[in-house]
Amino acid sequence: MRAVTRRERRRAAPADDRPRECCGLFGIWGHPDAARHTYFGLYALQHRGQEAAGIAASDGQLVRLHKGPGLVSQVFADRTTLDRLPGAAAIGHNRYSTTGTSIARNAQPILIEYKRGQLAAAHNGNLVNSADLRRAMEDEGSIFQTTSDSEVVLHLVARSRAAGLPEAIAESLERVVGAYSFLFLSPEMLVAARDPFGWRPLCLGRLEGATVVASESCALDIIGAEYVRSLDPGEVLIVDADGERSVHLPAAPRQASCIFEFIYFARPDSRIFGEKADKIRRAFGRRLAEEAPADSDIVIAVPDSANTAALGYAEAAGLRFEIGLIRNHYVGRTFISPYQHERDIDVRVKFNPVAGVLKGRRVVVVEDSIVRGTTLRKLIGLVRSAGAAEVHVRVSSPPIRCPCFYGIDMSTREELIASRCEVEAIRAHIGADSLRYLSVEGMLSVVPDPRAMCTACFTGDYPTAVPEDFHKGQFDRSRRTGAESKSC
Ligand code: SF4
């Protein structure tokens, strides 16, 4: 199958130019229905990746794997597939690629055979130094099966001379820089790890004595597991026949949990980083209303991700929250318009305005973030076509000015409208009567520990050095084209 490029993928999803998440993880140890629970856990985490899905399961002797491109429901459409994944331990992965091309062989978990036996791995995040490590290993003769950065860690584990698997994993993770939550599964052991900066979420749960780990707590809820806690940054949790124990990687200079998880990525009904996403998201909306009031009649959200922030905005502003846009939930990310010429049909397929709500009204439209602004411009056109008298856009995050190197496909710098345009120019581009963003200070005032958050895409304050050639195109293209001077 020919690889689909990132550019093609964006073109294939014109009605959604939001940042894309970078994968969901689920793991379980000590339950006879391990693969089946993992299947449901992946279902709950489908929003974190729709390109590919996979489950590796261990019966104590052998790790078996099934994975492929598509949604969980597509990859496991054959009901007998889960029967072929027996055992009391399993790990699962939903993929949205951020490094490596989008090809079937990059689906995860990745399963290898090496000197210690079998090892499966699943990864959420981006390793900033993976290209350097890979180049060095390839120079020494290593052969890689995928183009994914995750495979680099498996090579490091396979090369390690450490006494046991947990030690080999910890030693390998100490050599990588960047964002990761990892799950590893051998026939006898499950290992879950979070990077020392704590970029990506990973929580621990319990189900009938079994250990469960997941990117978000909504995956625990779906199988009736109890939420226990968030794994600590740098924690490596080892689960085997002897029970659970944790070791810790050397501490990072600071914690840098991704604040975008609260803004957009995580499901509002999830706990991430130990906090309820819904509570934080609603507070973003309330703070936005204090900072950026609008003389309006009603508040609507760009569904579904801005719903919670819009409720917070309406509450603080004393305005009525209305459902002014209906989202068609059956339109997948692979929707491609058959029209070659520029039309709004793509956004109309996905959203429909409610004329009875909007006609003659001064409307506040709450959006969680603006990447390129193309979708929002079309949405505002829809709201106006339904008869809205005024459209005031309020964004529950600050302007995104810098690309993300830690696992979020946040476009290139040249494609980030706020990296090259002032707010007034963006307002004119999207066709709103007014546009205001939440301030960085306002955003940080809402989270429990602002110093523990990564805000690099808003502030450019990257928690690590970013190698010069990392995602070379992202920086170089903006330099070559002089993107800073491009018009909106
Ligand atoms: S740069 Fe932005 S999206 Fe990336 S990890 Fe930091 S806060 Fe999250």
Domain that holds residue 318: 280-485
CB-based pocket (< 6 A), ligand 1: 199, 258-260, 404, 406, 408, 410, 454-457
Of 238, 255, 272, which residue is a domain's last? 255
Residue 334's contacts (CB-CB under 8 Å, 6 or more residues apart) are 12, 13
Q: Please report which helix (H) or strand (E) contains residue 473, including its range.
A: helix 472-481
Mean pLDDT of the chain: 89
**pLDDT band for position 476 (50/70/90)?**
very low
Q: Higher model confidence: residue 106 or residue 102?
A: 106
| Whether residue 453 is found in the same domain as residue 395 | yes
Calpha distance 278→217 (Å, rounded): 12
Which of 22, 23, 258, 421 is catalytic? The answer is 23
**What's the N-to-C CA distance of the chain in angstroms?**
37
| Whether residue 249 is found in the same domain as residue 292 | no
**Least trusted range by pLDDT, from 100-104, 253-257, 456-460:** 100-104
Q: What is the rounded average pLDDT of the residues 326-347?
A: 69
- Is 90 exceeded by the pLDDT of residue 106? no
Phi, psi of 116 (to 5 degrees): -90, -10
Phi, psi of 315 (to 5 degrees): -60, -50
| Whether residue 223 is found in the same domain as residue 336 | no
Q: Which stretches of 215-302 are assigned E, i.e. beta strand?
A: 226-230, 235-240, 243-248, 257-258, 271-272, 275-276, 298-301
Please report, rounded to a whole number, the percentage of residues in the chain having pLDDT higher than 90: 75
Q: Which atom of ligand 1 is nearest to the CA of 462?
A: 1
| Whether residue 176 is found in the same domain as residue 57 | yes
**Can you read off the two tokens belonging to residue 412?**
């290139």
| Whether residue 242 is found in the same domain as residue 388 | no
> Which among 97, 73, 86 has a CA at the least distance from the CA of 3?
97
Alpha helices in 193-273 (DSSP H): 218-221, 260
Q: Which atom of ligand 1 is nearest to the CA of 400?
A: 2
**Can you read off the two tokens belonging to residue 372?**
């390129």
Of 255, 289, 320, which residue is a domain's last? 255
Residue 420's contacts (CB-CB under 8 Å, 6 or more residues apart) are 414, 483, 484, 485, 486, 488
**pLDDT band for position 18 (50/70/90)?**
low
| Whether residue 247 is found in the same domain as residue 286 | no
Give the per-residue pLDDT at 97.
63
Q: In this structure, is residue 416 part of a structural domain?
A: yes
Q: In this structure, is residue 158 part of a structural domain?
A: yes
Q: Give catalytic status of residue 22 as yes or no.
A: no
Mutational test site, ligand 1, from 23, 259, 412, max ligand atoms within 8 Å of CB: 259
Q: In this structure, is residue 272 part of a structural domain?
A: no
Three-state DSSP state, 42: helix
Nearest CA to ligand 1 atom 4: 404
Nearest CA to ligand 1 atom 2: 457
Give the per-residue pLDDT at 415.
82
Calpha distance 68→104 (Å, rounded): 6
> Which among 122, 108, 107 has a CA at the least distance from the CA of 202?
122
Going from the Cα of 199 to the center of ligand 1, the distance in angstroms, rounded, reads 8
Nearest CA to ligand 1 atom 5: 258
Give the per-residue pLDDT at 483.
36
| Whether residue 18 is found in the same domain as residue 74 | yes
| Whether residue 308 is found in the same domain as residue 185 | no
| Whether residue 246 is found in the same domain as residue 298 | no
**Can you read off the two tokens belonging to residue 167?**
């030690």
- Is 80 exceeded by the pLDDT of residue 150? yes
Q: In this structure, is residue 270 part of a structural domain?
A: no
Calpha distance 378→96 (Å, rounded): 25
Calpha distance 102→95 (Å, rounded): 9
| CATH number, residue 204 | 3.60.20.10
| Whether residue 176 is found in the same domain as residue 314 | no
Mutational test site, ligand 1, from 23, 454, 459, 466, max ligand atoms within 8 Å of CB: 454
User: Quick one: DSSP state of residue 387?
Assistant: T
Give the per-residue pLDDT at 466.
76
Q: In this structure, is residue 4 part of a structural domain?
A: no
Taking only the tens place, the pLDDT of each residue in 367-416 is 999 998 989 999 999 999 999 999 999 999 999 999 998 888 776 787 89
Give the number of other CB atoms < 10 A from CB of residue 74. Answer: 12
Mutational test site, ligand 1, from 18, 194, 265, 408, max ligand atoms within 8 Å of CB: 408
- Is 80 exceeded by the pLDDT of residue 265? yes
Give the per-residue pLDDT at 475.
39
Of 188, 222, 255, which residue is a domain's last? 255
Residue 90's contacts (CB-CB under 8 Å, 6 or more residues apart) are 27, 28, 34, 35, 37, 38, 55, 56, 57, 58, 185
Q: In this structure, is residue 262 part of a structural domain?
A: no
| Whether residue 93 is found in the same domain as residue 195 | yes
- Is 70 exceeded by the pLDDT of residue 418? yes
Going from the Cα of 405 to the center of ligand 1, the distance in angstroms, rounded, reads 7
Phi, psi of 311 (to 5 degrees): -60, -40
Going from the Cα of 116 to the center of ligand 1, the distance in angstroms, rounded, reads 36
| CATH number, residue 462 | 3.40.50.2020
| Whether residue 223 is found in the same domain as residue 309 | no
Q: In this structure, is residue 193 part of a structural domain?
A: yes
Residue 438 near residue 398 (C-beta atoms within 8 A): yes
Residue 149 near residue 99 (C-beta atoms within 8 A): yes
Give how many domains the chain has, as a whole number. Answer: 2
Q: In this structure, is residue 335 part of a structural domain?
A: yes
